[in-house]
Structure 1
Amino acid sequence: MNRRTTARRIAGTALAALALAGCGARGGGSPGTAALVGGDRITEQQVQARVTEFRAQAAELPTGQYQEQAGLVGTTVAAMVFDQVAEHAMAGHGLAVSPAEVAAYRADQARTWGGEPALAQMLLLKHAVPAGEIDRYCAEQVGLRKLAEQSGQQLGTTEGNRTVHQLLAQASTELRIAVNPRYGVWDPQQSVLDGPADSWLPATGAAA
């Protein structure tokens, strides 16, 4: 039974990957699919919107502070998939994050980094998080901390990180994620995107 179930999962993922390859190859008015996460579709239009927001904010940084490297689009796809993996893991364990918790975490981080502008710049440069996604990022961090605490661990410790990693791997497997091959392949055990650099994209140089 386990072998048959595994075979069905592999077949389903393979078919989804083939469908995604077709979406990436077709033109037309509707946007292509960047990834399928459970029953949800992340479109290339959504990915490009976040990339555009990121580049616009990076362009406002002082000259020389940011130089775009290959991989930005793939990193964005990976982040958008991971967002849903984390949400699935939390929901599966009956956890939620309130707006008040998000606000408290964000305020604490702002104090740590010397204010909201400094926090926003750090998240932009270190984690490719544009301003419009900061609350989501904060909610995710609070949620990961809750996952660790529910298991009697603390996020940031070896055991806490290992526990959360295992829960995310389980959630990632359950979602049967399929990523458009142009971005790479999702590794459910590591909850990361193994993929090529964005060599198919036009070179942009500095984000300015």
Structure 2
Amino acid sequence: MHRRRRTALALSAVIAAAAPLLTACGNDAHPGAAAVVGGQRITFAQLQSRVDEVRRAQRASVPDAASYEQAVARTGTLTRDTLHQLVLDRVLDRAAQDAGISVSRLEVQRMRAGLEQQAGGAKGLKSAWLQQYGVPPQRLDDNLRLQLEAQKLASSLHTDPSRPEFWKALSKASGELRIDLNPRYGSWDVQRSGRVDARTPWIREVTSPPRRQPA
């Protein structure tokens, strides 16, 4: 379980504070796209849809509006973290593909059953993955598939996901995919296989106060 937790922490969005609104001036070099990965676009609409999934799951998991506002306040970089995860998921898929690794539905089901047993049931696992990793219930199986890909990739490299050898494989995959982020979300560091914030004076981050939701 410890290795699985480390893997999830490394590969799942780690969410910590209020969802920012980014306002920018100047020309948009990525019209309609938050990122381009391997020639495929991740649109703003796709990114916002994934963020909304987390927000709805957070609202459904708490008893009142005040608790929801606290959850939002703890997840302030949700949009950027979600984009980071969407890109990293594709990087991991590419690295696994390069290594000839695949994951079956049965393997995902077995992993989920084991984790549910440890978490005290399906509800406990969904709650834990949402709170700790920002993974909404409908994305749980997708996330577990990625965890298995990471474990298999690490095993094929005779290492584990915390070691440089593992991240070197992800770096190689990042380079192959030619990742290009919209400048408002920073840039993609191929060597680290991670998003880095751009320091540009014409981008201003504004934290909007969460709107009160009916209980």
Deviations 1:115-147 (A, max 9, x none): 111111111122111122111110110001101
Change in 2 beyond 3 A, CA 1:150/1:72: same
Residue identity over aligned pairs, in percent, reads 31
Task: Return the structure number with greater relative CO, CA threshold 8 A, min gap 6.
Answer: 2
Structure 1 distance, partners of 2:212, 2:96, is 35
Pairing partner for 1:205 from 196, 201, 210: 210
Pairs within 5 Å for 1:90-169: 90-153=96-159, 155=160, 161-169=163-171
Change in 2 beyond 3 A, CA 1:97/1:204: farther
Contact 1:50 1:130 in 2 (8 A): no
Structure 1 distance, partners of 2:88, 2:124, is 25
Structure 2 distance, partners of 1:124, 1:199, is 29
3-state SS of paired residue (1:97):
coil
Q: Name the one with the larger strand percent.
A: 2
The gaps in structure 2 that reach 5 residues or longer are 1-26
Residue in structure 2 matched with residue 66 of structure 1 by the alignment? 71
Contact 1:58 1:66 in 2 (8 A): yes
CA RMSD in angstroms, aligned pairs only: 2.4
The gaps in structure 1 that reach 5 residues or longer are 1-19, 25-31
2:91 matched to 1:89?
Answer: no
Letter aligned with residue 113 of structure 2: A
Letter aligned with residue 135 of structure 2: V
Q: Give the TM-score normalised by structure 1.
A: 0.77
3-state SS of paired residue (1:80):
helix
Pairing partner for 2:178 from 176, 179, 194: 176
Change in 2 beyond 3 A, CA 1:201/1:46: farther
Pairing partner for 1:22 from 20, 23, 29: 29
Q: Give the TM-score normalised by structure 2.
A: 0.75
Contact 1:102 1:142 in 2 (8 A): yes
Deviations 1:7-62 (A, max 9, x none): xxxxxxxxxxxxx93335xxxxxxx1010111211111111011111101101222
Structure 2 distance, partners of 1:90, 1:207, is 43
